[in-house]
Amino acid sequence: METYQILFHGHGFKVSIDGEPNSIAGFYTARRVQAQNPDDAYLAALKLLQSEQKTKSLVDESVARGATPKFEAEDIFEVGFWRRLFSRPPIGFVFYDDSDEAADESQEPKSEQASDGDA
């Protein structure tokens, strides 16, 4: 059995913090699991992530506010022996809000327009 690390992107969230609406629109997080292959690793890591209390509370609040949260695997890779031996499995989250998503979306078309104008 191999050890895999899966980088998840959770998006479509609507979570309020300190009264600020939509303070959390999404997040990135990684989980490490043992599995026979990358597909089994994805399923095991997704089940693990969805079973965590923090994830459950984010999903519950988002659904209550009319959102449809989703999880996508951004990357799946096999963890080597030395990394397994000398590093801790990842457990944290990197959150972002709607302004981060809007900034990313507004920058993409500008880049495309600039390159189209140069052609």
Q: What is the pLDDT of residues 31-59, one digit of tens each?
A: 999 999 999 999 999 999 999 999 999 99
Cβ atoms of 60 and 26 within 8 Å: the answer is: no
Task: Please check the confidence at residue 112 and state whether its pLDDT lies above 60.
Answer: no
Question: At 111, is the pLDDT very low, low, confident or very high (cuts 50, 70, 90)?
Answer: very low
Q: Is the pTM of this model over 0.95?
A: no
Q: What is the pLDDT of residue 118?
A: 47
Q: 55-86 pLDDT, tens per residue?
A: 999 999 999 999 999 999 999 999 999 999 99
Pick the closest to residue 79 from 14, 6, 13 (CA basis): 6
CA distance 52 to 17: 19
User: What is the per-residue burial (b if ≥16 Cβ within 10 Å, else e) of 77-95?
Assistant: eebeeeeeeeeeeeeebeb
